[in-house]
A and B are shown apart, each in its own frame.
Chain A
Amino acid sequence: AQSVSQHNHHVILSEAASLELGCNYSYGGTVNLFWYVQYPGQHLQLLLKYFSGDPLVKGIKGFEAEFIKSKFSFNLRKPSVQWSDTAEYFCAVTGTTDSWGKLQFGAGTQVVVTP
């Protein structure tokens, strides 16, 4: 069965600290991978995506993620966080031949950045 595991449920860090959120998936086949972010009171927004090619992908707001196929991982990173990065972060996966709109989401990681 498909599954997505996010390593941390809650992360608290100070401004300027580095952030790394872990994501591992279980899926039998070629995958597309995503990180979405949900800021307080706002809707889910796409941070970045991986379809193919360079396993290091860059997204909006200085975020990047690395796809490591051998580890079934797609970890999200940001070198220096800001207070405005306080949000919930979701990793998601779908098969490349799957139904287009069916994403399997992880449980989410609540990130709190303190001034």
Chain B
Amino acid sequence: KAGVTQTPRYLIKTRGQQVTLSCSPISGHRSVSWYQQTPGQGLQFLFEYFSETQRNKGNFPGRFSGRQFSNSRSEMNVSTLELGDSALYLCASSLPLLGANVLTFGAGSRLTVL
């Protein structure tokens, strides 16, 4: 079956702009999580959605937001981009299965902020 699909794969923005990233989970998966990966900070949790509701949020400023649609697809948005937002943004989906949940990751969207 198809994996987790993220679009776009690469994008370049300038400071102050905003960006929207999209994630299509594996068919049947209802939970979507987002992570930021940078060389300095590693993999950091951004937020998680299930049934169109945000269930958890990491320690990121309010410029980072997301949403989930009724078909479980998710988007994340970063407004007023800063140079430090340059990163690989990873989306992961899961069924979920309480106590035994496994995340499957997409290839990521690589954002460069100039």
Contacts and interface: CB of A to CB of B under 8 A. Distances in A.
Contact of B105 (A44, A96, A99, A107): A44
Contact of A100 (B50, B104, B106): B50
B101 A100 contact: yes
A104 B45 CA distance: 7
A102 B104 contact: no
Interface of B is mostly: strand
Interface string B25-40: 0000001110100000
Interface in A14-51: 32, 34, 36, 42-46, 49, 51
Interface of A is mostly: loop
Contact of A99 (B35, B48, B107, B108): B48
B111 interface: no
A103 interface: yes
Interface stretch (B11-19, B79-87, B92-100): B92-100
A90 interface: yes
11 contacts: A34-B102, A42-B107, A43-B108, A46-B103, A96-B99, A100-B97, A101-B48, A101-B96, A103-B33, A105-B44, A106-B42
Interface of A: 32, 34, 36, 42-46, 49, 51, 90, 92, 94, 96-97, 99-108
